[in-house]
Amino acid sequence: MSGSGIRPRVVLVGPMGAGKTTVAQLLASQWGTASRDTDMDVETAQGRSVSDIFVDDGEDAFRSLEAAAVAEALRSHRGVLAVGGGAVLDRETRHLLREHRVVFLSVGLSDAVKRVGLGSARPLLLGNVRAQIKTLLEQRLPAYQAVASATVVTDGKGPEEVAREVREAVQAAEAAQAAEAAEAGGAAEAGGTCGGVERR
């Protein structure tokens, strides 16, 4: 866990076509905070597109850059963070994510294909987009579920509706956490010295 106290308010995970980047931007503007996207962090740091990195250096090289970008964003970003769809493949990244408030934006095959588009420029979808997405969804579902504390189903919904559901889930979790902290604080006070009388 980061010792600085800086952490994203929420991290969005999920497959390509789940709407992570759009929803992160919407949520961030509603909360008056910043949104960040690890694909963009990698592209900015490298000065080239994700597709170019896949083609020039291969997927493994991209995954290392991505894992470093996620780790850096988790310790330095206070707003809403969207991480690339494959980031959860990395064991260390999954380990780090478990220390954060993570929401899984789930999407079924047909909505994912519609949103990504059959002519997608995404490097992992070259060839048969539908078949590739189907395989990725099936393979990665357990990893998304393992790191997330809440799931928002995005099928048939627009970004505004998804953002509202994420907002409600996060705010409910924050309220529960605050109530728990207050209760723990009260219990500690009641167990200590109060008005000169030691309580046990």
Query: Rule CB under 6 A: which residues touch ligand S3P?
Result: 16, 20-21, 39, 50, 84-86, 122-124
Residue 85 C-beta: closest distance to ligand S3P, Å: 3
CB-nearer residue toward ligand S3P: 36 or 122: 122
CB-nearer residue toward ligand S3P: 67 or 170: 67
Q: Angle 60-63-68 (CA atoms, 0-180°, nearest 5)? A: 135
What b/e readout covers 70-102, taking b as 16+ CB neighbours within 10 angstroms? bbebbeebebbbbbbbbbbbbeebbebbeebbb
Residue 13 C-beta: closest distance to ligand S3P, Å: 9
CB-nearer residue toward ligand S3P: 8 or 84: 84
Name the residue whose CB lies closest to ligand S3P. Answer: 86
Residue 168 C-beta: closest distance to ligand S3P, Å: 23
CB-nearer residue toward ligand S3P: 32 or 47: 47
Residue 121 C-beta: closest distance to ligand S3P, Å: 9
Residue 142 C-beta: closest distance to ligand S3P, Å: 15
Q: Angle 138-39-126 (CA atoms, 0-180°, nearest 5)? A: 50
56 DSSP β-pair partners: none
CB-nearer residue toward ligand S3P: 116 or 170: 116
Residue 139 C-beta: closest distance to ligand S3P, Å: 10
- From CA 104, how far away is CA 113, in angstroms rounded? 18
CB-nearer residue toward ligand S3P: 53 or 170: 53
Quickly list H helices, the chain.
20-31, 38-46, 50-57, 59-76, 91-97, 109-116, 129-147, 159-191
Spatial CA neighbour of 84 closest among 138, 15, 148 = 15
- From CA 48, how far away is CA 26, in angstroms rounded? 26
